[in-house]
């Protein structure tokens, strides 16, 4: 049986991300019940800052590991798993872990549960809670392999305030083979805007079919979002009608979001849209149809034309402070 | 070039999910089954490559029980040549499914395998990358652009915060598709007529050398619905007053501004 917990930690410019700290906090809590120590694995730097709650830090650095690439990352995590021989491997669900972890799990014959929103220990075994059907249902998930691998959705756990500092990092040597170099990253394109990603946004202003045109989306939703410091989003109907791009879509076949404030303008609230935003802390609905299903789950609603309300709301926000 | 497409049958996204009395899964009576929306983009990309004469044949691979042959038939109506239906029991884990699909893909011998970035039922996004590992092929998951030339591929994927990576590799490869890649076509009437005569090979999962008798590595239970959101308040009054009250509530009651 493996012992201890290996946590893959994301960093940005050498600084450990909040999503990694929440996992380290959870790992510490689980390790207290399962036994063993917590090892933080950091990719792409040899001098990470802000690592807490781990008994050791292993760093994998070098040109192959800085930008994400499937083969090198899978190999590095494999080397770490073989060295640590843990009972449990944790990581945040990101584009990178969604890409390489299934590949590594298949290589090592391990079970992987992705995108859990809760983790606990029951009868000495780790149990995850995981949304399916874009959050329309949830189930308990168990992984019987040794180690078990779980990835967690960002912002699932609070970061404990009392996490102790971790010791100095050690370098983990990872030798790559030809089989790890099946793909090459030949270019990295900078974002066209500097807005926060929908999946990480604290505030989202979304527009629906009620906007009637792309021009209205651009002149109503975008300025309101800018006033609120929000990321603009859209319903599937609005995307299908060409008001916004596919990357802006919130819902079961778009982004699943988890903001503090979600403002839905001219969105009726179809089941598949609700699936993508139901965990928002506060939902505001602006729709002239008082029968729209969105009013059944909105925290605050205004039954009126969005073309009247949105500019007033924008002016009111701009007048604050 | 021959292209394989992984296709999964899932409940329509407008489905209201109900949990079975024993909490072992969802109630599947009265569900409208559809092709997984992301797989439609994979199929479309394969058909586009055939239209551009870069591929000669598109073969659909699908694993599952009742109704899967109908979803394959829908894919054939859009323009794929043949289908392979792997009949398999419910509740296999992703690795067993990937082993079966990889064996079928290997037996068929394709140059490129396309899939959706995830299935909108279990949202696992595991099977395509597992198939790539089992076959020893390069992979790029969740792509938004694809070029195929001279036995190689160039694919673009979003790695978060709007940053995109361009990734290259040689064929054969496994690539999973996001929505922004293309707009799926509808089946034409002649396409639907033709599809009736196209061939679907039926394979049994045990004949592909996959043992389904052992316990799954990943198992689930205790299904439930998310907590209901309680109905909030509709703010009355004239637009100007209602907006002022909304902003006050957001600041003082909800404390999100």
Record: contact B254-A187, CB cut-off 8 A: no
Place A197 in a pLDDT band, splitting at 50, 70 and 90. confident
**Each residue's pLDDT tens digit, B182-228:** 999 999 999 999 999 999 999 999 999 998 888 899 999 999 999 88
Interfacial A residues in 227-286 facing B (CB < 8 Å): 228, 245-247, 249, 251-254, 260-261, 270-272, 275, 278-279, 281-284
pLDDT value of residue B152: 97
Contacts of B211 (CB under 8 A, 6+ apart): B96
- A311 at B interface, C-beta within 8 A: no
Record: contact A197-B121, CB cut-off 8 A: no
Distances (CA, A) of B53 to B34, B58, B60, B115, B148: 28, 12, 18, 20, 11
Nearest residue in A to B136, CA atom: A179
pLDDT value of residue A201: 86
Secondary structure element (H or E) that encloses residue A162, with its range:
none
Contacts of A195 in chain B (CB under 8 A): 162
**Each residue's pLDDT tens digit, A256-303:** 898 999 999 999 999 999 999 998 999 999 999 999 999 999 999 999
pLDDT value of residue B41: 98
Token couple for A200: 């990480």
In whole angstroms, what is the distance from residue B244 CA to residue B257 CA? Answer: 13
Interfacial A residues in 192-221 facing B (CB < 8 Å): 192-193, 195-197, 200, 203
A194 pLDDT more than 80: no
pLDDT value of residue B162: 78
CB nearest A132 (choices: B122, B163, B231): B122
pLDDT value of residue A170: 97
Beta strands A183-189; A137-143: pairing state: unpaired
Record: contact B123-A115, CB cut-off 8 A: yes
Beta partners for B173? B112
In this structure, CATH architecture of domain A5-181: 3-Layer(aba) Sandwich (3.40)
A321 pLDDT more than 70: no
**Cβ neighbours of B224 (radius 10 Å):** 12
The stretch A5-29 carries a mean pLDDT of 95
Dihedral sign (CA A83, A87, A91, A96): positive
Record: contact A140-B239, CB cut-off 8 A: no
pLDDT value of residue B229: 82
Q: What are phi and psi of A55, to 5 degrees?
A: -85, -25
Token couple for B91: 């509740």
Q: For the residues of A79-137, what is the DSSP string, one character each? A: HHHHHH--SEEEEE--HHHHHHHHHHHHHHT--EEEEESEEEEETTEEEEEEEEGGGTE
Place A49 in a pLDDT band, splitting at 50, 70 and 90. very high
Assess contact for A235 and A271: CB atoms under 8 A: no
The stretch A193-214 carries a mean pLDDT of 90
Nearest residue in A to B126, CA atom: A102
Distances (CA, A) of B5 to A85, B44, B60, B82: 37, 10, 5, 11
pLDDT value of residue B256: 92
Complex ipTM value: 0.94
Record: contact B133-A102, CB cut-off 8 A: yes
Delimit the CATH 3.40.50.620 region(s) of chain A.
Answer: 5-181
Interchain CB contacts (distance < 8 Å): A and B: 262
Ranges in chain B, pLDDT < 70: none
With respect to CATH, is domain A198-320 assigned 3.40.50.12780?
no
Distances (CA, A) of B58 to A186, A216, B46: 29, 41, 7
**Each residue's pLDDT tens digit, A133-176:** 988 999 999 999 999 999 998 888 989 998 999 899 999 999 99
Delimit the CATH 3.40.50.1220 region(s) of chain A.
Answer: 198-320
* Shortest alpha-carbon distance between residue A29 and chain B (Å): 23
Contacts of B26 in chain A (CB under 8 A): 133, 137
């Amino acid at each position: 049986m493996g012992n201890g917990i290996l946590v893959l930690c994301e960093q940005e410019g050498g600084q450990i991300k909040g999503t990694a700290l929440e996992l380290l906090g959870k790992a510490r809590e689980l390790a207290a019940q399962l036994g063993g120590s917590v090892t933080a694995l950091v990719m792409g730097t040899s001098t990470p800052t802000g690592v807490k709650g781990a008994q050791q830090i292993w760093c994998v650095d070098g040109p192959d590991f800085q930008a994400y690439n499937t083969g090198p990352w899978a190999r590095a995590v494999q080397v770490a798993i073989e060295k640590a021989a843990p009972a449990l491997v944790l990581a945040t669900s990101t584009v990178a872990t969604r890409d390489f972890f299934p590949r590594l799990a298949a290589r090592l014959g391990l079970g992987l549960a992705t995108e859990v929103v809760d983790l606990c220990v029951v009868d000495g075994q780790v149990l995850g809670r995981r949304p399916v059907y874009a959050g329309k249902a949830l189930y308990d998930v168990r992984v019987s392999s040794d180690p078990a691998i779980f990835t967690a959705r960002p912002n699932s756990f609070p970061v404990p305030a009392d996490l102790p500092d971790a010791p100095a990092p050690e370098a983990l040597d990872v030798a790559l083979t030809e089989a790890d170099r099946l793909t090459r990253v030949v270019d990295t394109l900078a974002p066209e805007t500097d807005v926060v990603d929908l999946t990480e946004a604290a505030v989202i202003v979304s527009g629906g079919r009620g906007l009637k045109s792309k021009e209205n989306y651009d002149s109503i939703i975008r300025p309101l979002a800018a006033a609120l410091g929000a990321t603009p989003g859209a319903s599937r109907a609005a995307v299908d009608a060409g008001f916004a791009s596919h990357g802006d879509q919130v819902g079961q076949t778009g982004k699943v979001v988890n903001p503090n404030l979600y403002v839905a303008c001219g969105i009726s609230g179809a089941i598949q849209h609700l699936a993508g935003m139901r965990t928002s802390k506060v939902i505001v609905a602006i729709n002239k149809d008082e029968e729209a299903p969105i009013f059944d789950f909105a925290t605050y609603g205004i039954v009126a034309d969005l073309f009247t309300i949105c500019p007033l709301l924008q002016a009111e926000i701009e007048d604050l402070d | 070039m021959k292209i394989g497409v992984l296709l999964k049958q899932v409940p329509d996204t407008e489905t209201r999910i109900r949990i079975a009395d024993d909490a072992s899964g969802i109630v599947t009576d009265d569900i409208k089954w559809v092709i997984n929306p992301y797989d439609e983009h994979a199929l479309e990309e394969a058909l586009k490559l055939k239209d551009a004469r870069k591929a000669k044949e598109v073969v659909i691979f699908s694993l599952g029980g009742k109704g899967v042959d109908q979803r394959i038939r829908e894919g054939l109506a859009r323009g794929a040549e043949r289908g392979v239906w792997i009949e398999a029991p419910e509740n296999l884990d992703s690795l067993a499914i990937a082993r079966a699909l990889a064996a079928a893909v290997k037996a068929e011998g394709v140059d490129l395998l396309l899939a959706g970035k995830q299935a909108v039922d279990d949202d696992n996004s595991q099977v395509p990358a597992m198939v790539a590992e089992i076959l020893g092929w390069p992979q790029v998951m969740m792509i938004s652009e694809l070029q195929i030339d001279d036995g190689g591929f160039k694919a673009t994927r979003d790695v978060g915060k709007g940053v995109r990576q361009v990734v290259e590799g040689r064929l054969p490869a496994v690539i999973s598709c996001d929505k922004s890649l293309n707009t799926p076509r509808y089946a034409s009437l002649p396409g639907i007529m033709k599809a009736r005569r196209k061939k679907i090979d039926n394979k049994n999962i045990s004949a592909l050398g996959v043992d389904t008798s052992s316990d799954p590595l990943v198992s689930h239970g205790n299904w439930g619905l998310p907590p209901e959101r309680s109905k909030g308040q509709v703010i009355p009054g004239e637009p100007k007053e209602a907006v002022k009250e909304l902003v006050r509530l957001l600041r003082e009651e909800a404390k999100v501004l």
